[in-house]
Amino acid sequence: MLAVSKVAAASPVSSFYIGPLERCSVRRLLSTSATRFNAKCGPTGIVFMNMGGPSSVEETHDFLYQLFADNDLIPISKNYQPAIAKWIAKFRTPKIEKQYREIGGGSPIRRWSEYQAKKVCEILEETHPQGAPYKPYVAFRYARPLTDETYKEMLKDGVKRAVAFTQYPHFSYSTTGSSINELWRQIKQLDPQRTIQWSTIDRWPANRGLIDAFAENIEAKLLEFPESVRDKVVLLFSAHSLPMDVVNTGDAYPAEVAATVYHVMSKLNFKNQYRLTWQSQVGPKPWLGPQTAKIAEQLAPTADGLLFIPIAFTSDHIETLHEVDLGIIDESPHSAKLKRCESLNGNETFIRGMAEEVKEHLESAERYSKQLPLDFKLGKSNDPVQDLDEMFQPTKA
């Protein structure tokens, strides 16, 4: 098989003597051979890492506890954070349970994440057979399946090579950094012999599929406005905010979100006015602004239309379905001219873009981005990864 491959590559006339059907057969044979070879070493795991959300109302308390107990996300106190997290979770659970009931009885993040990961793996089987077979996984930071549950499943499945693919396209130490720290803790506890070799896609704000999918969804939603005002609709790109004490550490998140917004607007030829705004602030501490709700309240009375775009989210969840839809839009006296762009969810352009991101990552043999060491140098954690090279080791031959 190697000889056939070398002849085909070396001879400029080889394709003349091999017809289309024969070329397809050769490609299938090469793909099958690569798959069989890699199958002996176990499948390649493609692990979608995200915050997650309670799939049912009953999971809300545990989700809130895990979230407030994470010192990377909410740096309260190393010694007292678990106790404080229990109190906050108990206090907030009734309110958040009500919100999940109002959006259908739970978060759709798991359903969409599993669907997206499955589709990405199916595409990779065709576009990058060298790593086949591929097996999709989801590892949530605060909801099931938690990172340790997913890791145990991967060990059981015999995975030997895995890509930790963050589903936060824009890096923040409090989100992607937290997931990487948690993954390292589980590696040390569950896989000290390092049977699984890891690499990570830790950011992808300019991914072509991501940009094109947002542009597609925006253009489709603009068609729902009267033709006379479509070009006058203000686009409000809304991302989850960060506390200013996190921003002031030099966190990459604001700049990377802004980069995605600019790429999307370039795709749209800047035909509408736009702003980047921030949502989901909690507590008395200063947060990154301006707040989405306040800008909407200011602009709505005189605007021809406002279109909200959930730019930092890869699927629907409580921040889109409840905070924006049921809160900002439905409660506005100007709701008739306020709309939200569809989330990425099952968008085929987006899923193809993610598959291409993984393919390029595997072909480059990159273990992590060049920015990640600086992210970890600036980030603050009580239990961080100390050596990224130790965590993300070179792939064995």
Domains within the chain, CATH numbers bracketed: 44-55+107-202+348-381 (3.40.50.1400), 208-340 (3.40.50.1400)
Residues 51, 124, 242, 362: which is the catalytic one? 51
Predicted local distance difference test score (pLDDT) of residue 284: 82
Query: Is 28 designated active site?
Result: no
Q: Are strands 197-201 and 161-166 parallel, antiparallel or unpaired?
A: parallel
pLDDT confidence of residue 19: 43
Cα gap 145→136, rounded to integer Å: 13
**Per annotation, catalytic residue among 65, 100, 142, 253:** 142
Residue 187 has pLDDT above 60, yes or no: yes
Instruction: Write a three-state SS string for 257-299.
Output: HHHHHHHHHHHCCCCCCEEEEEECCCCCCCECCCEHHHHHHHH
What's the rounded mean pLDDT across residues 384-392?
96
Q: Give Cα 147 to chain centroid, integer Å.
A: 15
Q: 365: how many CB neighbours lie within 10 A of its CB?
A: 9
pLDDT, residue 41, reads: 65
- Give me the half-sphere count of Cα atoms (radius 13 Å) on the Cβ side of residue 146: 12
CB 171 within 8 A of CB 134: no
State the pairing for strand pair 338-340/197-201. unpaired
**Catalytic-residue membership of 319:** yes
Q: Is pLDDT of 28 > 70?
A: no
CA distances to 83, 106, 194, 268 from 53, in Å: 21, 8, 29, 32
pLDDT at residue 74, rounded to an integer? 83
Distance CA 260, CA 263 (A): 5
Nearest to 183 by CA among 158, 145, 148, 135: 148
Active site residue 110: no
Q: Which range is least confidently modeled, 59-68, 70-79, 157-166, 210-219?
A: 70-79
CB-count exposure of residue 180 (10 Å: 0-12, 13-18, 19+): buried
Q: Which one is catalytic: 59, 61, 72, 73? A: 73
Which of 357, 229, 241 is closest to 295 using CA atoms? Answer: 241
From the candidates 59, 323, 325, 375, which is the catalytic residue?
323
Q: Catalytic residue among 72, 256, 316, 375, which?
A: 316
Band of the pLDDT at 390, cuts 50, 70, 90?
Answer: very high
Task: Report pLDDT for 42.
Answer: 77
The per-residue pLDDT for range 82-107, each reduced to its tens digit, is 999 999 999 999 999 999 999 999 99
Whether 362 is catalytic is no
The string of pLDDT tens digits covering residues 321-362 is 999 999 999 999 999 999 999 999 999 999 999 999 999 999
Whether 323 sits among the annotated catalytic residues: the reply is yes
pLDDT digits (tens, 9 = 90+) for 110-128: 999 999 999 999 999 999 9
Helix (H) or strand (E) holding 349: helix 348-364
- Where does residue 382 fall: left (phi above 0), alpha (psi -120 to 50 degrees), or beta otherwise? alpha
Buried-state track 341-359, b at ≥16 Cβ within 10 A, e below 16: bbbbbebebbbbbbbbbbb
Catalytic residue among 61, 110, 128, 141, which?
141
Closest CA to 117 of 358, 360, 318: 358
Q: Beginning with the edge strand found earlier in the chain, give each strand of the sheet holding 338-340 in spatial order.
A: 274-279, 234-240, 306-310, 338-340
**Active-site annotation holder among 49, 67, 124, 154:** 67
* DSSP states of 13-34: THHHHS-HHHHHHHHHHHHHHH
100 is catalytic: no
168 catalytically annotated: no
Higher pLDDT, 348 or 281: 348
Order across the sheet with 197-201: list the strands: 134-140, 44-50, 161-166, 197-201
Confidence (pLDDT) at 35: 40
The more confidently predicted of residues 22 and 281 is 281
